[in-house]
Chains A and B, each alone.
Chain A
Amino acid sequence: VIETTPAVGWYVFGIVPSDAAPPVGTSLVEDGPFAAVAAEVSLAEFGEDVLPERLNDRAWLEEKVRVHEAVLQSFVGVVPVVPLRFGAIYHDLDDVRRLLAERAEHFAVVLERVRGRVELGVKAWLDPTRVARPAAATGREYLQRRRDELSSARDAASLAAAAHERLAALAEGAVLNRPQPRELTGRDEQMLLNAAYLVPEPGDELAREVARVGEETAAAGLTFELTGPWPPYNFAETER
């Protein structure tokens, strides 16, 4: 029996089959066929009263987010895992076991769905400067150039949407997320597509299609970026 003190809690990273091996620094809290991947944390760091301030500490947040990802990533390609969102902290292990029991049906469905599959992320970016245009010498030429730019942007958006349809057709699950604004990405290009796909591991077929789409749309100023394989963050809910 592991005893806890009031000053600690249990951070739960995700849910795995109970016969999985826990990464270093974590424990498996089992209940039936499933187990929560958990680690003891100090409430001086994760307590309700201090967490809001911590979340505004970029360095702290980056460190904890990377730990969360590293723990879940260790299961990718090994056993299925259901990621929990950052910040699931329980007072004691009985509460963790209660979570497993109460959400058993959900975890069973999702674990089966993501078994042998990985999540790949695809983003499409528009860089208007990659589309060559003549310099505008007159007001009329400037207006025409602006019209051309707007038309090109619409075309690029259509191309990105068509690319998503092609990629989704190869995937067993697809999630279209809201493109991130420039303030968040810190990039000059405009994000037109921010999607995630659930594909059989290792995801080579989708990767090849992303490369093909990228080649076909490069002249329109589009570039495609592939990331992953990720734990199935975007497919942790049953309805997706």
Chain B
Amino acid sequence: MKKALEITLGIVTSVGGFLEVGSLVTSAQAGSRFRFSLLWAVVLGTGCLIFLVEMSGRLAAVGKHTITDAMRERFGFNFFVVPLTGVALVTLLVLAAEIGGVCLALQLATGIAFQWWALPVGFAVWLLLWLATFGVIENGVSLLGLVTVAFLVAAVRMHPSITEVARGLLPTLPSHDGARYWFLAVSILGASISPYLFYFYSSGAVEDGWDESHLTTNRLVATLGMTFGGVLAAAVLVVAALVFDPRGIRVESYDQMGLMLTDALGFPGFVLFVLSLAIACFGAALEISLALAYMVAQGFGWNWGENVAPARAARFSVTYTVIIVVATLVVLTGVDPLKLTNLSMALTAATLPLAAVPFLFLMNDAAYVRGHGNGWLGNGVVIAVIALAFVLAIISIPLEIVGG
């Protein structure tokens, strides 16, 4: 019974925590411009994420190592510092985009320019990290994130053509705006396979004291939680396609996105959109701040843990404090949050090889995963993800410049 509750809670929090600024924006842009034809990118990204998250949890449960820990130990600090720097810088931009997303939600609700909200939002993120335990952050905010199910409700109420949706699940060549199409495909993949997700997941598994008895929980949470989360991202794309494409609206601004749910849900739809944006981005900002602090603290061998009092993990606490201050300053400069989101998703795709390659070694090293190493399917998927990651790394920046 306790196990079933744990699995249910894990799945529910994965669903509630899945949508964030990147998946919301890239799905909305894709739907408004290319109807359902980029649904395949959401499916592909979610599929890759399921495998990588499951492996992160397995590594933590069996080997008692987070991904970062194991990377530093297995490859040495001199190698480790390269992915640390690349992934940390890009993730910092993603954090700025998430804080910007919360500020934008407040702007939609109040009309007060988003920059004015940067300091209060940054402070709220920091305060919650300072005061709360891992459980509160993981469960509390993710449960609130279930408000994003509104997109699925709206998608169902708008009766999309099942045939057209099914056609979108198969990759097709674009009939127009090729550069923009591929840029959005790359951005959707970057938003789906964000390295911070599996760094956060493996650190969380260690914080929650997972062992080999949690392997089934891990498999179910990774598979079902991420699948349902992917369905939500697909629902955003479907709603955007049905609302914006017939009117000829191409999403270029959060101000347009505020109208997404009103066709299906009326005024409550507007409120639900604002709440979804605010809660999803706030939850993601908490997770990213923690994931970055985990990465740095584990990389340098410092004491770490959200369940530890800040004074007992002082350098860990200082790290997330500095990270939040820097990200808040980026938002304060007034940089266009939508451009920042697009850029950070493309750069996430560009740094994906740094995050994906270590999985191939770690998940086949008996010192870390004992008898629970990858089988042929797991290794096949990791190799495919690495190949995809290298392609994305090569094309993402040129596409950002040409099609962004």
Partners in one complex: no
